Structure 1
């Protein structure tokens, strides 16, 4: 009932005044009169991401949102995904961990992980050219800390022409640049979970025309789920130095990220009821939103490495992201043109592992499935190692055993180089302003990774999971030290990638603003060159990937050692193709009155298909070519229109949209390839209300999506895409008394389907974040923040497509409640 009431309240408020925020931390706040009311002159909200030139949002035919860094930090240390979940118009599936979360917008499909249609940028340039690389999403190399000045998002609009591979929109993380002298340092600690963290930032002049900003964080601890070891270890440091001169500036960026965090996969869940009205519950001994299969008693990841040599890799690595980045940004006037140059080189690497489920059953049934009738189980690790497991007394209160695959992806190099050069000039023409922009974009993205796997039999015991051996009735072990196979059970997904992507894209735009009307358009042509090679049994052609191998060197081959995956290194397949596609966007904005404007826009963009078409029949294993141009890039068309209102502390923005999209993909956790077209229609609402000490930001998005064509499985044509709720609501009420402040961040999503078959329903849910802060003395702040305050089990993903007969399923939930306290010193 509480969730139902909240939905009704949020929907009603969103219809009246949905949420907005200022575009950057150096933009003016809404001024107030002596009686606490808003001043008559509204602030100008300048927005610069994905457009030719920063301008007032009411004069731009785009749908945008922004969030200040100080507003982000009020709710305590959170992953970037949890921050973006609170922004209007975005759909984010978090709960996976710090990175590899899922992002989309406007009903664009989430067939696999990452951010396929929205490019995630840092200071105007992409972190990775493709946001949905297998097992390594863009957010793996991004962190939320005090260095952030603002986050800007543009949905649809001109994003498709002012950046490559961003037909759905852009998310831009903007750094502080020393505009305001001073800084902060904060120490925080979990109150009901183990994590210690220090955040800092400081900016100041280095002379008359030079300034700098430095910031970052360091953390260590077990984290929000029970894993039994310090899964969170590391941090980052960012530095920039700006030199200003007449008519421009030049800025140097440096960044070092070295951070580890766990990956939380779908875990054990008890599913009962019907497909239309299922009940999801935690098994005894394993809470879905609190526990993890990770533990000190698992591992290491024993397998053959990228050179087919035995290796034992630490399971505690989790997501270990390493990025060393240097960037240069400059802006200057030349012959009446404003020239902007942005360049960055990032050496990205790391190891990324995760454990994900294959099957689970009672002890007796599980043992029989692997060892035949009369098989038994015995602990292979942990404090009970060597002890038999009862088939009659439920171990851990649930009596379950499971087979888990452990993926260990080694990113040897994901180096990225990007250069974006543009020139803009404003011409006076017939009483109006004609803004012209020309630009050229070049990017190079390396993909050099190896996928390794192993398979473990485990019990179901959150944070204390141990490995299990299965022994048949004749006394012969079917496993080796808890390892069922030194592969993913088969030869599948033992892969090596060594591919380079080169992108060149000239672009231009024109915008004419006269009186109340602004009309403009932009165009971009992306050409790509893809070269490299692949290694793996998945390529077929007689390539074998499963062998017998004496892993432990005892001179004998056990049952598990007959299931060893290796890479056929002498049989690589080439990758060699080029692609090209045109993007364009045109829109009109009518400023009806000072506080109110109307706009409309049509855009065509595309996203080049990267690794999701490799290891598929689309790419020839003989010459590396791709025969069909439609397989090389997926097109997205968007028609949008709406209004914007801003006056007396009230902002209201509304956008109706219709989107069509193509998608070549591979479903998460499977070899199921997809080739589909989609359509989505809906409405985005956002706005805010400010009166005295009280502020409220609100958002609501309605989306109705459909698979219009499934070329590989026509039975799915006409169905709704999985994980697509009809409604998403956000609300952020705050009260600021000066020395003390309180606030909440509320996100609600309605129900959706677990799979594209449209059988099993995932229930909707609401999560609430909250904060309370107090300033006992000047420059000192004490705060308590909470994520998922009511400890909701909110489900983002379910492996099953229907209620299982035995009630044993796998699902991924939002993390349970975490509360932390912090002390901050401003100086």
Structure 2
């Protein structure tokens, strides 16, 4: 546990259904996966198809022969129900908690009771074709799901929870989810046209694979789409696409594959929204405010299209508010497998040039419009419209503004992620030895990566009304003598109270090297194995910001709109102290290990147990806190560099022709050193969790059912900075999450539903305000009138349930409006697909 001292300084697709009992092949060559993706008929008996799983393990094995907890999703199921985002796919994997409220990126994701203390996926790694998208899953405003899209290129998804994930990847102690691409094993392709029936979406997907010779094949695919998106923004907020291509050359004993990807896609970052709340903290009642539906509306608007702020060089820039989340990826990679001296050697290398421009609402404060003048520096003053068709007009009845009388102070996170480049290499060699008639498998390897984080935070705070259909207008506050406190709706060129608080610059590089090794001995039906990994890393670079202290200047008067007048908001414009960077310069190292035993008692039955220790190196999240010296860049708190996770699990697995059942009990203990995304304050906590996980599937004729459930009992065992939180339940942690997918499949049609739910949780670690649970139901119908033609209709959140994933308030706000994060309401899409 981290102890030592108290810190006195502080920086302020509709869905996816799992096919757990069916075939998933390995990352390198996936012929069975791709064949399954093309199949329209029900899958063959599981008994006839071995469930080979290769993610986060030394060597691909049948899941009943491995002491791990794993799940797999087939492309045929993902395609069938039209998964709209990565975070929605992850909701349907047992053990994973995915808060899919922000759109197609920036989701909060965790696993098996490990905490979501800030944002992103700290303890869970997302991979694409066996390599991590980012070295760290919680880079601010650059979560891995933002840079990943599910389309017809996708062959399968593999997920490992805990276990050997700690030793076969860096910074992934909680688990790994690997998105595996098609590689042209099955010749042919598809074109799919999709449209939103009750929301703005137009999309085309394609993919094609073929053999150029008996030993040479390729695959290419991608998508393009545009439209307003699932919620009303008042403009074309979703636009872009991606293309992926790979070429594979096979030879005796192996293959070599070259692949590339180009992603350029814009989607809105929905994040915070306004939700009415009444009752008590223990029994709150949440409902929509007048003229605003959180399931279908947003705080974005056609009347707020640009934001005036400064760039990373303190130069005025007019940024595009419609940019939303704008990831750009240009990547190229090589994967190969070959034999040397009896060893199977696998080499994976990828360079990914990545960037992102994030325009989202980071913080809000909801205020009655009638009180805004007095609250923001103009007692006795008035409000005017600052944008839209009524710009310049005085609001005579603010108490009834937009039918709800509500105003919003919104801090806009205008964040330029200039360079997030990642270069990664993983080489490993395995060999199976005969020892006394038994198989001894040994593996050793070396992993190396470099992660760049080059970003500028140049934010602004605006005032706005709250209206439906993307019709909100910015507001100006005017004194009784006619002086504007705001400038075209902008209250501060920076954060609300201290403009310089979140004005930051990062120029950082993180190098990670990790040798690893494993051994597994199989004696009859018993397998005993263990693995080790040692990560050593270096952080270097510098950061900029007023809140680093040391006399750094954070604001200055500046005529930011170049009109020759220093208006009230221009008197204190947040500027970066460009000549006063603070260095970052430290090294770290940590050991991970995992050991397990698996006993395959009979062909359909196995039991296993495993204990693991893994680590997660902290990156940009520990800057701007008390953890790193601002004078020499060294660690003030040596423990802050790495957070350690201990895990134990034991379970039973059963599989026959029609039934698969996996039941696992788990225990975890975790550290977290972080900065809270809501308050900006440091977090230094220890957690523990225990629970049980169920995963199963059943098939009888044309009917099938897949289901999963995870029960978790978690608590904060030690909070260094807020001891009152000791013994409390971690924020957002539900006791039970569950999934179920019943469906009927014939040669001509498929029909089914995906039911996903969670029990309630607490809004914050203080355990005061409760957040209710919810159950969403999604439905799909697929009809095949002709060979190679598929018509489909998909409905997400069919019953338009108000599904709250998080509330940022510790107690019910006095104004009766909470800062909420919710899932999209009902959206229905239709598609036609042609296979050839």
- Please tell me the TM-score bracket, short chain as reference: over 0.9
Structure 1 residue 458 and structure 2 residue 467: aligned? no
Deviation sequence 1:233-266 (CA, Å, 0-9, x none): 1000000000000000000011000000000021
Q: What number of residue pairs does the alignment pair up? A: 806
Deviation at 1:392, TM superposition (A): 5.8
1:429 matched residue in structure 2: 435
Aligned mates of 1:272, 1:161 — CA distance in 2: 48
Aligned mates of 1:628, 1:294 — CA distance in 2: 41
Deviation sequence 1:299-333 (CA, Å, 0-9, x none): 41211111111111010111010000000000011
- Say whether the 8 Å CA contact 2:83–2:89 is kept in structure 1: no
Task: Give secondary structure in 1 for the equivalent of 2:453.
Answer: strand
**Change beyond 3 A, Cα 1:777–1:594:** same
Correspondent of 1:551 among 560, 578, 594: 560
Correspondent of 2:662 among 641, 653, 657: 653
1:198 matched residue in structure 2: 204
Q: Which runs of 5+ in 1 are unaligned?
A: 1-16, 31-35
1:772 matched residue in structure 2: 781
Deviation at 1:38, TM superposition (A): 8.0
Deviation sequence 1:398-419 (CA, Å, 0-9, x none): 0111111111111111110000
2:248 matched residue in structure 1: 242
Aligned mates of 2:346, 2:399 — CA distance in 1: 70
Aligned mates of 1:40, 1:109 — CA distance in 2: 35
Structure 1 residue 706 and structure 2 residue 715: aligned? yes
Structure 1 residue 802 and structure 2 residue 811: aligned? yes
Aligned mates of 1:306, 1:804 — CA distance in 2: 35
Structure 1 residue 118 and structure 2 residue 127: aligned? no
Equivalent positions of 1:417-566 (< 5 A) are 417-462=423-468, 463-489=470-496, 490=498, 491-566=500-575
- Say whether the 8 Å CA contact 2:370–2:405 is kept in structure 1: no
Equivalent positions of 1:528-607 (< 5 A) are 528-607=537-616
- Say whether the 8 Å CA contact 1:23–1:65 is kept in structure 2: no
Structure 1 residue 172 and structure 2 residue 178: aligned? yes
Equivalent positions of 1:316-355 (< 5 A) are 316-355=322-361
Deviation sequence 1:217-240 (CA, Å, 0-9, x none): 000000000001111110000000
Aligned mates of 1:104, 1:549 — CA distance in 2: 43
Deviation at 1:294, TM superposition (A): 0.7
1:379 matched residue in structure 2: 385
- Say whether the 8 Å CA contact 1:667–1:674 is kept in structure 2: yes
- Say whether the 8 Å CA contact 1:21–1:65 is kept in structure 2: no
Deviation at 1:22, TM superposition (A): 3.1
Aligned mates of 2:44, 2:355 — CA distance in 1: 50
2:650 matched residue in structure 1: 641
1:23 matched residue in structure 2: 24
Deviation at 1:672, TM superposition (A): 1.3
Equivalent positions of 1:4-83 (< 5 A) are 20-24=21-25, 26-27=31-32, 41-83=47-89
Deviation at 1:502, TM superposition (A): 0.5
- Say whether the 8 Å CA contact 1:18–1:699 is kept in structure 2: no
1:366 matched residue in structure 2: 372
Aligned mates of 1:395, 1:733 — CA distance in 2: 46
Deviation at 1:391, TM superposition (A): 3.5
Deviation sequence 1:605-662 (CA, Å, 0-9, x none): 0000101111111100010001443111000000100010001210000110000000
Aligned mates of 2:512, 2:399 — CA distance in 1: 61
Aligned mates of 1:753, 1:552 — CA distance in 2: 43
1:740 matched residue in structure 2: 749
Aligned mates of 1:348, 1:402 — CA distance in 2: 33
Using the TM superposition, name which of 739-748 and 366-375 deviates more.
Answer: 366-375
Structure 1 residue 751 and structure 2 residue 760: aligned? yes
Deviation at 1:19, TM superposition (A): 5.4
Deviation at 1:42, TM superposition (A): 4.5
Task: Give secondary structure in 1 for the equivalent of 2:88.
Answer: helix
1:8 matched residue in structure 2: none
Aligned mates of 2:235, 2:283 — CA distance in 1: 38
1:33 matched residue in structure 2: none
Deviation at 1:21, TM superposition (A): 4.4
Task: Give secondary structure in 1 for the equivalent of 2:781.
Answer: strand
1:187 matched residue in structure 2: 193
Normalising by structure 2, what TM-score? 0.95
- Say whether the 8 Å CA contact 2:366–2:815 is kept in structure 1: no
Q: Which runs of 5+ in 2 are unaligned?
A: 1-17, 37-41
Aligned mates of 2:330, 2:495 — CA distance in 1: 32
2:691 matched residue in structure 1: 682
1:782 matched residue in structure 2: 791
Deviation sequence 1:684-743 (CA, Å, 0-9, x none): 110100111111100000001000000111111110001000000100111012111101
- Say whether the 8 Å CA contact 2:147–2:327 is kept in structure 1: yes
Using the TM superposition, name which of 303-312 and 149-158 deviates more.
Answer: 303-312
Structure 1 residue 313 and structure 2 residue 322: aligned? no
Correspondent of 1:135 among 141, 153, 166: 141
Deviation at 1:285, TM superposition (A): 1.5
Aligned mates of 1:41, 1:347 — CA distance in 2: 43
Deviation at 1:44, TM superposition (A): 1.2
Aligned mates of 1:748, 1:193 — CA distance in 2: 24
Deviation sequence 1:745-804 (CA, Å, 0-9, x none): 110100000111101110000111111011111111111011111111100111111122
Aligned mates of 2:286, 2:226 — CA distance in 1: 32
- Say whether the 8 Å CA contact 1:19–1:699 is kept in structure 2: no
Task: Give secondary structure in 2 for the equivalent of 1:71.
Answer: helix
- Say whether the 8 Å CA contact 2:21–2:659 is kept in structure 1: no
Equivalent positions of 1:274-285 (< 5 A) are 274-285=280-291
Aligned mates of 2:621, 2:44 — CA distance in 1: 51
- Say whether the 8 Å CA contact 1:37–1:691 is kept in structure 2: no
- Say whether the 8 Å CA contact 2:19–2:73 is kept in structure 1: no
2:10 matched residue in structure 1: none
Task: Give secondary structure in 2 for the equivalent of 1:562.
Answer: helix
**Change beyond 3 A, Cα 1:39–1:309:** closer
Aligned mates of 1:262, 1:100 — CA distance in 2: 10
- Say whether the 8 Å CA contact 1:301–1:453 is kept in structure 2: no
Task: Give secondary structure in 1 for the equivalent of 2:809.
Answer: coil
Deviation at 1:77, TM superposition (A): 4.2
Normalising by structure 1, what TM-score? 0.96
Aligned mates of 1:300, 1:37 — CA distance in 2: 51
- Say whether the 8 Å CA contact 2:255–2:338 is kept in structure 1: yes
Correspondent of 2:160 among 154, 171, 194: 154
Task: Give secondary structure in 1 for the equivalent of 2:427.
Answer: strand
Alignment root-mean-square deviation, CA: 1.5
- Say whether the 8 Å CA contact 1:683–1:701 is kept in structure 2: yes
